[in-house]
């Protein structure tokens, strides 16, 4: 079995080739590393760096843009939160298993954090309970985190409930952290909103939604007709979802749900983005960091 982290890195390098190299690195650094008053040194500009960090005088002398580096205020703790219930073993919008997308997203963020010297921890689980891995540095630890998520998610896992993991975090972590939540399409209710507000008061929260498979409509035309629900094994005959009226109603309901989720998370000040396949993960994380910076 090839290393999950290798897969994440190769994905990132492909992304880096397509965008400007290191863009994501710079993005993460400028978003999270913060600025203390203790100047450390200068380094070459990499795309994604804050423009206001450029040392214009030094750059003028040097001939190319230079960035002022400060001694980091503190080591940040990044807590990855995800769902390893059987919902995550179901199909995503793009046809993969949702956990593959989740692992990719966790890997990208974890790797960025790790590169910047942050420690990365994990909280995962299902409706029956949550597990946690302590926050540590190092690629080996990150690989272990990814394997825990990948191996712990299957069609035989218990039911999913991301609320369980969130309340676990609320109960057990006292320090201020950066929370990166990977979950599937959340249906926010009053209790969930309260919980998120509580977490948001203590932590910085980034949220990536893994989009669920489309159950009716054009996108599902190339896929096998019959589906079943992982929660209760209920059969969903594909033919029944092919009629015009059903597709129209489904599309409308889907838009409404997306809008509702978006509205709740925005209201709470949680940067939110969604990804339907593992190709979407890199741009999604980039957008997420951008949004988080703008939200500050």
Partner 1 sequence: MELIFWWMIPAAFLVAGGTYWVVRKRDRIDGSVRRPVAHSHRLTELPEYRAAVRRHRRWLTVAAVAGGVLMAAAVVAAARPAERSTVSPEQRNRDIILCLDASGSMSSADAAVVEVFARLAQGFDGERLGLTVFDSSAVQVFPLTDDYDFVQEQLAEAKEAFDGAPGSAGFLDGTWNGAGSSLIGDGLASCVEGFPAAEDGAPGDSGGTVERSRSVILATDNFVSGDPIFTLEEAAVLAKEKDVRVYALNPGEFDYGIDPDQPGAQLRMAAEGTDGAYYALDSPEAVQDIIRKVQSTEATAFKAAPQAALADRAEIPLGIALVSGLVLAGASWRLRS
Where do contacts with partner 1 occur on this chain (CB under 8 A)? 86-91, 98, 155, 160, 184-185, 187, 212-213, 215-216, 223-224, 226-231, 234-237, 239-241, 243, 245-246, 248-250, 253-254, 257
CA pair distance 40, 49, nearest whole angstrom: 16
Angle at CA of residue 102, ends 79 and 140, nearest 5°: 55
CA pair distance 113, 127, nearest whole angstrom: 28
Largest CA-CA distance found in the chain, in angstroms, rounded: 70
CA pair distance 259, 48, nearest whole angstrom: 29
Smallest gap from Cβ 155 to partner 1, in A, equals 6
Smallest gap from Cβ 88 to partner 1, in A, equals 8
Parallel, antiparallel or unpaired: strands 204-210 and 271-275: parallel
Closer by beta carbon to partner 1, 140 or else 253: 253
Smallest gap from Cβ 227 to partner 1, in A, equals 5
CA pair distance 262, 4, nearest whole angstrom: 30
Nearest to 76 by CA among 118, 138, 30: 118
Smallest gap from Cβ 175 to partner 1, in A, equals 33
Smallest gap from Cβ 143 to partner 1, in A, equals 27
Smallest gap from Cβ 3 to partner 1, in A, equals 26
Whole-angstrom CA distances from 160 to 85, 124, 183, 230, 278 are 4, 10, 10, 10, 21
Structure-token pair, residue 217: 């409509």
Closer by beta carbon to partner 1, 202 or else 254: 254
Smallest gap from Cβ 224 to partner 1, in A, equals 6
Closer by beta carbon to partner 1, 137 or else 213: 213
Closer by beta carbon to partner 1, 12 or else 88: 88
Closer by beta carbon to partner 1, 10 or else 256: 256
Closer by beta carbon to partner 1, 81 or else 90: 90
Closer by beta carbon to partner 1, 94 or else 121: 94
DSSP state of 182: E
CA pair distance 24, 70, nearest whole angstrom: 19
DSSP state of 204: E
């Amino acid at each position: 079995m090839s290393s999950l982290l290798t897969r994440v890195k190769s994905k990132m390098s492909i992304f880096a080739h397509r965008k400007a190299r290191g863009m994501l690195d710079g993005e993460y650094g400028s978003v999270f590393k913060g600025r203390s008053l203790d100047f450390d040194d200068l380094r070459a500009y990499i795309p994604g760096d804050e423009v206001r960090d450029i040392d214009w005088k030094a750059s003028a002398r040097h001939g190319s843009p230079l960035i002022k580096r400060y001694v980091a205020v503190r080591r940040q703790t990044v807590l990855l939160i995800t769902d390893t219930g059987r919902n995550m073993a179901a199909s995503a919008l793009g046809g993969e298993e949702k956990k593959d997308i989740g692992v990719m997203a966790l890997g990208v963020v974890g790797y960025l954090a790790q590169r910047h010297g942050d420690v990365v921890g994990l909280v995962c689980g299902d409706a029956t309970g949550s597990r946690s891995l302590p926050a540590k540095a190092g690629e080996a630890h990150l690989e272990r985190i990814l394997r825990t998520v990948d191996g712990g998610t299957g069609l035989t896992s218990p039911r999913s409930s991301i609320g369980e993991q969130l309340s676990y975090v609320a109960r057990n972590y006292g320090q201020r952290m950066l929370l990166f939540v990977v979950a599937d399409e959340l249906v926010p209710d009053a209790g969930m909103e309260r919980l998120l507000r509580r977490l948001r008061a203590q932590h910085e929260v980034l949220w990536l939604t893994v989009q669920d498979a489309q159950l009716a409509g054009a996108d599902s035309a190339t896929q096998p007709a019959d589906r079943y629900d992982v929660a209760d094994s209920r059969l969903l005959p594909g033919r029944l979802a092919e009629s015009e009226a059903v597709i129209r109603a489904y599309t409308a309901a889907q838009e409404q749900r997306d809008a509702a989720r978006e509205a709740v998370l925005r209201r709470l000040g949680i940067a939110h983005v969604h990804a339907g396949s593992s190709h979407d993960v890199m741009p999604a994380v980039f957008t997420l960091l951008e949004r988080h910076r703008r939200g500050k």
